Amino acid sequence: MRKDAKIYIAGHRGMVGSALVRKLKAEGFNNLLLETRQKMDLTQQQVVADFFQRERPDYVFLAAARVGGIVANQNHPAGFMYENLMIQNNIIHQSYVSGVKKLLFLGSSCIYPKHAPQPIKEEYLLTGALEPTNEAYALAKIAGLKLCEAYTKENGCNFISVMPTNLYGPGDNYDPENSHVLPALLRKFHEAKQNGNTKVTIWGSGEPKREFLHVDDLAEACFF
């Protein structure tokens, strides 16, 4: 990538998108395309098409998505599936139409089967049932990964995907309903200490094993 390359970061105000912006700026890339949701709702096909025709980015980081924890995913499967399919279809297709040199799609490790052997290998994809609580979200992400592969195979595009594990870091979401496990735990312990409580209730059996990655380490990997 040339230092003056035009790079579009979709979702630049999110935890991952803002880490990508920090990393790219630190590496001397300053021709960054950043549009807020208020100016461009990425679920809207024509709006996204007009943006790509007008701006013609060289590279795209696709970090915009509807993201949430277990409760949000359980309560809003339609919203998670529909919005993520729309956002990624619009951006991936318009990246093809406008001749983007390379696109990186942000997926999630929840695309792998619930009972996949550990550590998870890429070839375990589509070998078993998904975790039911985030199935709708995971199916959208699998569609995104496969769409990138399909455009690469059929049209010679250079569209690749990463499937990060649970992330944490600056810009995380601490909402009691929408947050992921680590910010939710931090909030619970912080508030318990503030309120002088002697007990904290944590969801689940305590048995699951979780893996965490700092978002700046993810940004480093995406940049690489």
Ligand X SMILES: NC(=O)c1ccc[n+]([C@@H]2O[C@H](COP(=O)([O-])OP(=O)(O)OC[C@H]3O[C@@H](n4cnc5c(N)ncnc54)[C@H](OP(=O)(O)O)[C@@H]3O)[C@@H](O)[C@H]2O)c1
Q: How far is CA 109 from CA 56, 105, 163, 167, 181, in A?
A: 30, 13, 5, 11, 14
* Among 15-23, 71-79, 92-100, 195-203, the segment contacting ligand X (CB under 6 A): 15-23
Name 104's Cβ contacts closer than 8 Å, sequence gap at least 6.
Answer: 60, 61, 62, 160, 161, 162, 222
Strand partners, 101: none
We find the least distance from the C-beta atom of residue 121 to ligand X, in angstroms, to be 18
124 is catalytic: no
Nearest-angstrom CA–CA distance, 14 and 62: 11
Please report, as residue ranges, which positions from 28 to 47 form the binding site for ligand X (by CB under 6 A): 37, 41-43
Length of the chain: 224
| DSSP 3-state of 213 | strand
Q: Strand pairing of 102-106 and 59-62? A: parallel
* Among 9-17, 24-32, 96-104, 121-129, the segment contacting ligand X (CB under 6 A): 9-17
Catalytic residue among 137, 151, 168, 174: 137
108 binds ligand X (CB under 6 A): yes
Out of 9, 17, 32, 135, the only residue in the binding site for ligand X (CB under 6 A) is 17
Q: What are phi and psi of 133, to 5 degrees?
A: -65, -25
Out of 8, 14, 111, 140, the only residue in the binding site for ligand X (CB under 6 A) is 14
Residue 5 or 213 having the CB closest to ligand X? 213
67 binds ligand X (CB under 6 A): yes
Nearest-angstrom CA–CA distance, 66 and 155: 28
Nearest-angstrom CA–CA distance, 51 and 169: 30
Please report, as residue ranges, which positions from 143 to 182 form the binding site for ligand X (by CB under 6 A): 164, 166-167, 173, 180
**Closest residue to ligand X, Cβ-based?**
14
We find the least distance from the C-beta atom of residue 3 to ligand X, in angstroms, to be 25
Residue 87 or 142 having the CB closest to ligand X? 87
Which amino acid type is present at position 97? V
69 binds ligand X (CB under 6 A): no
Question: For binding to ligand X (CB under 6 A), which residues are involved?
Answer: 11, 13-17, 37, 41-43, 63-67, 83, 87, 106, 108, 164, 166-167, 173, 180
Q: Could you list the active site residues? A: 137
